[in-house]
């Protein structure tokens, strides 16, 4: 079977959402073109510096590789966090990514929860369980990761922070937030980022129109070795996401292209909602760490978690007046 695009090489990939059969080269080009289109829409090509939040997995490789295909790699800087999860060692993945990034001329900054929060994720969980808290590891992990990534973006004066979330991740998050009925949070998942605090570096997701199976294949075709080690805390992940994921895959299977359609329609709707929504004033800042927190809160969720786990003394950490 010949490739539907170049009509020259042998086709190797069938893309159910487009109905096309593609050769390896045209498949790679197709993914890059979608990432580029999404990136140009938000002006990533005009940025002076973009911080890439990388885990070392396939999506972070695809993020760096696709962006470097049309953005000067000197403008890209990668950032990785070691959460401190026993048995979930991604050292080799990071080393592999570092090698690849350095061949492109992209620097990699390494950080860890231990270094920047004071505790590994395992330690936070040990204390949290000891205090009888019923908070999942992913809540600690996701919250601190977001905070550290934003801090890193600010520290290197990045115009944007880019993450490797793919289409599957995005649509799952949209449906979950739709179920929760949080409009403000929901429209933040649209294609154009909203800045609710001057302390936030705008977050963008250049892979948001690329299916997860495509990022896997892209990394595989590029020779990027990835062993998807499963995080030991995955079983404690909120079950809603797993259910939503299952449902979405069932729909995608019945009607290929469903995820893309949901995202494209959502972007159009979000644009209308954004134009009609009076965005509130700047987010308040946490009394303890000074980072932005939700409206109506004095202490951010991260600091609150540390206090509840007995790892932070509220009064001791209040700024002196």
Tokens matching residue 247: 């449902």
- In this structure, is the dihedral angle defined by the CA atoms of residues 80, 175, 204 and 284, taken in order, positive or negative? negative
- Applying CB under 6 A, which of residues 40, 155, 179, 234 lies at the interface with ligand SF4? 234
Tell me the site size for ligand SF4, rule CB under 6 A.
Answer: 9
- Applying CB under 6 A, which of residues 109, 138, 184, 229 lies at the interface with ligand SF4? 138
Beta strands of 87-201 (E only): which ranges? 107-112, 160-162
Name the packing angle between helices 121-130 and 301-308 (round to 10°): 60
CA dist 306 and 174 (Å) reads: 28
- Minimum distance of Zn ion from residue 30's CB (angstroms): 9
Tokens matching residue 107: 């620097």
Residue 238 or 310 having the CB closest to ligand SF4: 238
- Distance between terminal CA atoms of the chain? 73
Contacts of Zn ion in 298-317 (CB under 5 A): 300, 303
- Minimum distance of Zn ion from residue 236's CB (angstroms): 23
- Applying CB under 6 A, which of residues 16, 19, 105, 142 lies at the interface with ligand SF4? 142
Q: With contacts defined by CB under 6 A, name the span among 1-9, 11-19, 231-239, 286-294 that binds ligand SF4.
A: 231-239
Residue 61 binds what, of ligand SF4, Zn ion, none (CB under 5 to 8 Å, by partner type)?
Answer: none
How does strand 107-112 pair with strand 76-82? parallel
- Applying CB under 6 A, which of residues 17, 49, 154, 237 lies at the interface with ligand SF4? 237
Residue 137 or 309 having the CB closest to ligand SF4: 137
CA dist 59 and 212 (Å) reads: 8
233 touches ligand SF4 by CB under 6 A: yes
Contacts of Zn ion in 3-22 (CB under 5 A): 3, 5-6, 9
- Applying CB under 6 A, which of residues 178, 231, 307, 311 lies at the interface with ligand SF4? 231
Residue 98 or 145 having the CB closest to ligand SF4: 145
Burial grade of 234 (CB within 10 A; 0-12, 13-18, 19 or more) = exposed
> Percent helix, strand and coil across the chain, each rounded to 5?
50, 10, 40
CA dist 270 and 284 (Å) reads: 24
Residue 76: φ, ψ to 5°? -105, 140
User: Contact positions toward Zn ion, by CB under 5 A?
Assistant: 3, 5-6, 9, 23, 26, 286, 288-289, 300, 303
Residues that bind ligand SF4 (CB under 6 A): 83, 137-138, 141-142, 231, 233-234, 237
């Amino acid at each position: 079977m010949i490739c539907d695009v170049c009509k020259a090489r042998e086709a190797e990939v069938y893309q159910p959402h487009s109905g096309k059969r593609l050769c390896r080269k045209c498949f790679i080009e197709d993914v890059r073109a979608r990432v580029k289109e999404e990136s140009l829409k938000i002006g990533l090509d005009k940025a002076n510096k973009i911080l890439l939040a990388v885990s070392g997995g396939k999506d972070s490789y695809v993020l760096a590789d696709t962006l470097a295909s049309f953005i000067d790699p000197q403008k890209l800087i990668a950032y990785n966090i070691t959460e401190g999860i026993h048995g979930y060692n991604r050292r080799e993945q990071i080393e592999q990514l570092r090698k690849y990034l350095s061949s492109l001329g992209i620097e990699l900054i390494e950080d860890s929860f231990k270094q920047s929060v004071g505790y590994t994720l395992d330690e936070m969980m040990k204390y949290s369980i000891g205090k009888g808290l019923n908070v999942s590891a992913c809540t600690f992990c996701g919250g601190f990761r977001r905070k550290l990534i934003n801090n890193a973006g600010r520290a290197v004066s990045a115009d944007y922070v880019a993450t490797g979330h793919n289409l599957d991740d995005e649509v799952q998050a949209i449906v979950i937030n739709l179920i929760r009925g949080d409009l403000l949070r929901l429209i933040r998942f649209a294609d154009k980022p909203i800045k609710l605090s001057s302390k936030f570096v705008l977050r963008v997701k250049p892979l948001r129109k690329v299916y997860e199976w495509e990022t896997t294949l892209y990394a595989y075709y590029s020779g990027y070795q990835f062993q998807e080690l499963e995080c030991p805390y995955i079983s404690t992940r909120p079950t809603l996401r797993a259910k939503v994921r299952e449902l979405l895959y069932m729909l995608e299977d019945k009607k290929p292209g469903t995820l893309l359609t949901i995202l494209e329609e959502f972007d159009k709707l979000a644009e209308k909602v954004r134009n009609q929504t009076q965005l509130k004033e700047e987010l308040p800042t946490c009394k303890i760490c000074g980072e932005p927190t939700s409206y109506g809160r004095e202490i951010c969720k991260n600091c609150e978690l540390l206090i509840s786990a007995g790892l932070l003394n509220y009064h001791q950490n209040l700024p002196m007046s």
